[in-house]
A and B are shown apart, each in its own frame.
Chain A
Amino acid sequence: MDMLSGGDMLVRALEDEGVEFVFGYPGGAALHIYDAIFKAEKVPHVLVRHEQAATHAADGYARATGKTGVCLVTSGPGATNAITGIATAYMDSIPMVILSGQVASHLIGEDAFQETDMVGISRPIVKHSFMVQRPEDIPSIVKKAFYIARSGRPGPVVIDIPKDMTNPEHKFEYHYPETVSMRSYQPAQRGHTGQIRKAARLLLSAKRPVIYAGGGVIQGNGSELLTRLARRLNYPVTNTLMGLGGYPGTDRQFIGMLGMHGFYEANMSMHHSDVILAVGARFDDRVTNTVDKFCPGAKIIHIDVDPASIAKIVPVDVPIVGPVDSVLAELEQQIEAQIEASSRPLPDTTALDAWWEQIDQWRQAHGLWHGKRYPDSDLIMPQEAIQTLYDVTNGDAYITSDVGQHQMFAAQYYRYDLPRRWINSGGLGTMGFGLPSAMGIKLALPDAEVACVTGEGSIQMNIQELSTCSQYNLPIKIINLRNNYLGMVKQWQDMQYEGRYSESHYAASLPDFVKLAEAYGHVGIQVKEKKDLEGAMREAFALKDRLVFLDIFIDPHEHVYPMLVAPNGAMKDMWLSKTERT
């Protein structure tokens, strides 16, 4: 058996866990660990320029690959800089392990240099956390941390490591445990069969069904099963912002994203449905609008691995706690069995035909993909920029986004046919997420096209990562939809504050992004006219091994529509343009 120091054990444990990348930034309390990384052969380390970017990069890696993202930061400011990214991962249930250096045990509590109570400060935004108290516990803590991060409802796990725990002088027997068993942590392995039978019966009795699928379908690897089930029944499917790609975006049965900036046909279908199958979704306030008015005629089946998500916001008729994949597989069997056993044909195709006719009418009336749903303008419309991006990449790129109007346009106008292609901060809404998450994806999938759709507000929140992209040669395409405003803030100020643009305009203060990109060794292209848009994008993607920053000047006054009417609106109450509402 090998005798290893705490630092060496940590790195060896990461190797044994199959970790492909560690995103991090060194500092005093983490130096023993960094020395161990230097000596290790596997586990490449990616040096970011700010710890927040390390967490987002690990997060993007995790979202695109389904594996657990790993980051390593030092104590104090290193740890606090990581907090935003940990909260981002927590809100979207992303598996991540965060290793944070800590001051030596004997200094804890003494306000030592670069001391902060990382376990305390991260407590509300982690799935679990550990503080290493004996170096010999490191392998089993790492094993548990990875197990907790990726099982059940995934989430971030912090391991806080006082510096003396990784002292190279002190060596221990290294043994990496093969299994984990924790009496206090036993996530659901399968759903309740009686409930699944009930769900099948209710689902087959539906006359106006909607399948409402969220990020849990993607995280729980349920996309294929869900798609098969939906097609078997010919039921319409809507995805949440987090669920896009969980059902093929170009499929006839896909009725678009739902919610705040959801599709007209999706929100109308939800409101008028009689049975909703909610899978891996959490009835977020950005979906439900006014809860009391949410889908008044619908009976609800809710499948989720997290019991605390069920009936948290909206009462549910058939709750099913369990992993999405195993529950959907069993639901499919039950449905087949009930169709087989029924004396009349199921599902009710007459009712379903009428329902589809209604949905198609909604689609034709106001569907975003049916006809052009934005004004003609001499300027480039943001929607056109995304549609062009979709065409130029053949709908096959990994699209990360930041937060704001560009995020909503990217969600509405890029059509995601596969899970894990649309990568955005849905729950926390973290500006600055787009570029570093794209780095994590590009490292993991070097042959894939990775584009970061952003705005000049968001991109400047982690712009320093252009330097990381130079160091590791990450040819990401940055699609900057530039309107000189914080677009979504401006939209709300237009709609609710009579156009008083309080602190949402940059005046003439923006940098020359082309020169900025060039300063970091990348390519910058400015696009100001509509006629140049497609050519510039093709040029950017043709530069296979270069990062290209496309600075696209768009109509500064465009709004994102549809938009749910708030406060006191139902899902059917939407603004469809600046002047029309339902």
Chain B
Amino acid sequence: MRRILSVLMENEPGALSRVVGLFSQRGYNIETLNVAPTDDYSLSRLTVTTFSDDFKVEQITKHLNKLVDVVKVIDLTEGAHIERDLLLVKVKAVGAARDEVKRTTDIYRGSIVDVGPSTYVIQLTGPTEKLDSFMRALGDAVVIEVVRSGVAGMARGEKVLSP
């Protein structure tokens, strides 16, 4: 099952490598990983998605909590939450495809952020599913290059991840 773990940790050198190392060391998989400092620059917030059963996720959470740099861990998938992934995709935009790509982008409420003589760069944000769906809609034929930020997430409502 896909899980989204949100980790609040000290913004210290080596902290990220400890988190990533933990996953490889204990044989857990990382599907996506996203990390940046928070409004409090002494803290980083990391979102990791992993495919694991309940037992494994419990172990991952316990081991993450054990890391001295980690302040708090929550499993966003346990409750209502918002998840966003950012996609930049460079596509061939020539001939009929140029219009077709533009129409598809509009349908998905994406935006074209760079225009070249034969290429577009499209930006799209949303949950992973939406980005996957958009990629399928574009079709392999036009896609030249893809980059995704990985999921960043937050619980809905009152629930807060803070130190």
Contact = CB atoms under 8 A, between A and B. Distances in A.
A184 B66 contact: no
Nearest to B68: A128
Interface in A499-540: none
A311 B58 contact: yes
B14 A131 contact: yes
B2 interface: no
A133 B13 CA distance: 10
Contacts of A119: 14
Nearest to A311: B58
29 contacts: A119-B14, A123-B14, A123-B17, A123-B21, A124-B25, A128-B68, A128-B69, A129-B14, A131-B13, A131-B14, A133-B13, A148-B68, A182-B68, A183-B71, A183-B163, A184-B9, A184-B10, A184-B70, A184-B71, A184-B163, A306-B66, A307-B62, A307-B65, A307-B66, A308-B59, A308-B62, A308-B65, A308-B66, A311-B58
Nearest to A182: B68
Interface in B1-57: 9-10, 13-14, 17-18, 21, 25
A271 B48 CA distance: 40
Interface string B99-133: 00000000000000000000000000000000000
Contacts of B156: none
Central interface residue in A120, A131, A307, by most chain B CB within 10 Å: A307
Interface residues of B, number: 19
A183 B72 CA distance: 10
A127 interface: yes
Central interface residue in A133, A182, A184, by most chain B CB within 10 Å: A184
A67 to B, nearest CB: 21
Contacts of B81: none
Nearest to B22: A124
B69 A184 contact: yes
B43 to A, nearest CB: 9
A143 B26 CA distance: 30
Interface in A141-191: 148, 182-185
A52 B69 CA distance: 28
A312 interface: yes
Interface string A484-512: 00000000000000000000000000000
Given A120-B17, A184-B70, 18 more contacts: A119-B14, A123-B17, A123-B21, A128-B68, A128-B69, A131-B14, A133-B13, A148-B68, A182-B68, A183-B163, A184-B9, A184-B71, A306-B66, A307-B62, A308-B59, A308-B63, A308-B65, A311-B58
